[in-house]
Amino acid sequence: MRTKLISTLLIGIASIGIAFVSCKKKEEAPAPGSAAPPPPPAAAKKETVQNIGSDTMVNLAQAWAEEYAKIDPNVSVEVSGGGSGVGIAALINGTADVANASRKLEPEEVEKAKAAHGGKEPQEFMVGYDGLAIYVHKANPLEEITMEDLGEIYREGGKTEKWAQVGVKSIPGAKDGNIIRVSRQNNSGTYHYFRETVVGKKSDFKSGSMDMNGSKEVVELVAKTPGAIGYAGLGYATGEVKILKVSKKKGEPAIKPANATVLDKTYPISRPMFMYTPGEPSPGVKKYLEWIMTDAGQKIVEQSGYVPLAKK
Amino acid sequence: MADARPKRRTWEVVSERLIEFAIRVCGISAVLFVFGIFFFVFREGAPFLFGGLNLGQFLFSTEWYPTSHSNVRYGVGALIVGTFSVTALAMAIAVPFGLGAAIFVSEFCGKRTRESLKIIIELLAAIPSVVWGFIGISVMNPLIQDVFHAPVGLNVLNGAILLALMSVPIMVSIGEDALKAVPDTYREAALALGATRWQTVYRVLLPAAKSGLLAAVLLGVGRAVGETMAVLMATGHAVNIPKSLFDPVRTLTATIAAELGEASVGSDHYRVLFIIGILLFTITFIVNLSADLVVRGIRRRN
């Protein structure tokens, strides 16, 4: 009897929950994207900018939004993450005014966006650079690694399985000497970029890597796992992990990821970060994007651990 | 005045009919929901299930590369093995604990202990699964690394312990109900024959409550197979056939949770995730059906 009672209660609660969610959706439905909502009578016109996308850029976008709220109180920027793919999907279906992406739009995505927005081509704004750092556990004695070794570690069919193969004799806490690969979920912009630059354009990742749902999770897992190696944006570095220097080939100097080395492209794993708008941005959005390019906006890029655009 | 029976008023008749109808709807609504959910999941998955998916490769290949640029492969073999290894280990831990606790609560402990134990066990069931996942990452992860010297703390064992803890409360409350349902005359008869308490439990109560206890275990299995959030966080999320308890794995449910949000609607990848949903549906259906058949078999023999 008792369990029956509990289950009826549960079903009741669940159905109320479902009803609530669907009501909420209906409420939100009539205001897609930048379509002007009915202006509130008394208050000044306040513009809300939906800014969705790259997980790598989410902290940065949040910092921009907070700073910009002080400068222009009439524009409120709402930032959410989820990944470059989520941001671009939101750009196409009109729920995002600005999409953050840590990769360029693919041609078919441009076509889809054009089709969805009456032939208007999405506008691209480069807002900074990100150096993709290679993280290992603090106890790992390794200091530098070559792009070839990274490829052999991560590539499907790659031969490097043990730390000994890259010259590490032993790591305290990781007796078996296996390299534990930490990677990202297969739709993340970082995953795609790493595959293209390190693993190989025509190749895939080796199966069996631990696929985390965010850059922060990658760094946290590496910090707790002595035998691990992982990749994530430079902005996610903490005192708990070690960043490796990377060299293009064996014999060439290994480069530490830093502002200067990312800008002059001597650090081999760095990429530009973009913001996209569907068609011409509205005046409010345009002002926001212009502010991001100013010294004040670019200073935040640097403070968040990324690399600002080169000064013109 | 031939008809002396008092006549009911019209509204009474109507309201009774209405209430009866409402109750009937409540009764069959579960059927509607199940078929509705199955229909929608199937509709999303069907175009690719019958048009292009290599079913043999899907079920038995361990290569899961849904977003590859060069060679897209949809093989969930490793995910199936992952799901079953975590579930099996979880059950190996949970069944003795769960049934043991049910027997203790129902037969051995005093009234006050029983009441407080039941409240605490129900509290255990009320912990949200994301909190279990959090415990898996922050408490179990370093613990497993320290105790077993495992290279990774997020692995089969971690996920299985969490799932066991999550399914024990269900097993205890349903198992206890099943034992309580055994008539007291059985206990009295056993006592009269001079059986000890343990003999009563082992020889009389367990066989008599067999089908209810089996239902308790299978509900636990269902919970373990379908659980998502905790295993997503605690098993390490690696497409991998585990060779030991300390290898990270990935389960079917966790794959859907991690990838559906970013798969573009209508793409093959999106449809394959729904086909995984159909697969999960089929697995739970088979579990429930076999449970039903087993229970029926037991009943007939008695």
What ipTM did this prediction achieve? 0.81
In this complex, is the C-beta atom of A211 within 8 Å of any C-beta atom belonging to chain B? yes
Asked if B65's CB is within 8 angstroms of A175's CB, the reply is no
Band of residue B4 on the pLDDT scale cut at 50, 70, 90: low
What is the pLDDT at residue A44?
55
* Mean confidence (pLDDT) of chain B: 90
Asked if B65's CB is within 8 angstroms of A186's CB, the reply is yes
Residues sharing a CB contact under 8 Å with residue B153, sequence separation 6 or more, in sequence order = A224, A225, B140, B141, B142, B143, B144, B145
Query: Closest Cα of chain A to B199: distance in Å?
Result: 28
Q: Structure tokens of B291?
A: 């449970």
In this complex, is the C-beta atom of B263 within 8 Å of any C-beta atom belonging to chain A? yes
Ranges of chain A with pLDDT below 70: 1-45, 312
Widest pairwise Cα distance in chain A: 75
Mean pLDDT computed over B80-93:
95
What is the pLDDT at residue A141?
94
* A265 or B134, higher pLDDT: B134
Mean pLDDT computed over B79-98:
95
What is the pLDDT at residue B2?
57
pLDDT tens string B142-171: 999 999 988 888 999 999 999 999 999 989
Q: How far is CA B147 from CA A53, A227, B144, in A?
A: 40, 17, 5
Q: Report the distance separating Cα A87 and Cα A95, nearest Å.
A: 9
First to last CA, chain B: 57
In this complex, is the C-beta atom of B185 within 8 Å of any C-beta atom belonging to chain A? no
Residue B90 has pLDDT above 50, yes or no: yes
pLDDT tens string B60-81: 999 999 988 888 899 999 999 9
3-state secondary structure of B77: helix
Query: Closest Cα of chain B to A70: distance in Å?
Result: 33
Asked if B259's CB is within 8 angstroms of A186's CB, the reply is yes
**Positive or negative torsion for Cα A258, A263, A266, A267:** positive
In this complex, is the C-beta atom of B42 within 8 Å of any C-beta atom belonging to chain A? no
**Surface-to-core class of residue A257, CB atoms within 10 Å of its CB (0-12 exposed, 13-18 middle, 19+ buried):** buried
Residues sharing a CB contact under 8 Å with residue A234, sequence separation 6 or more, in sequence order = A130, A131, A132, A133, A243, A257, A262, A305, A306, A307
Do A161 and A229 form a contact (C-beta atoms < 8 A)?
A: no
Q: Report the distance separating Cα A44 and Cα A168, nearest Å.
A: 63
3-state secondary structure of A275: strand
What is the pLDDT at residue A9?
47
Q: How far is CA B34 from CA B37, B38, B281, B290, in A?
A: 5, 6, 10, 19
Q: Structure tokens of B93?
A: 């831990």
In this complex, is the C-beta atom of A214 within 8 Å of any C-beta atom belonging to chain B? no
Out of A175, A209, A211, whose CB is closest to B149?
A175
> φ, ψ for residue A307 (rounded to 5)?
-110, 120
> φ, ψ for residue A174 (rounded to 5)?
-130, 75
Asked if B151's CB is within 8 angstroms of A174's CB, the reply is yes
Tell me which chain B residues have a C-beta less than 8 angstroms from the C-beta of A210: 152, 154, 236-238, 248
What is the pLDDT at residue A37?
45
What is the pLDDT at residue B3?
62
Asked if B151's CB is within 8 angstroms of A227's CB, the reply is yes
What is the pLDDT at residue B98?
94
What is the pLDDT at residue A209?
93
- Measure CA B159 to chain center: 14
What is the pLDDT at residue B19?
94
What is the pLDDT at residue A35?
44
pTM attached to this predicted model: 0.78
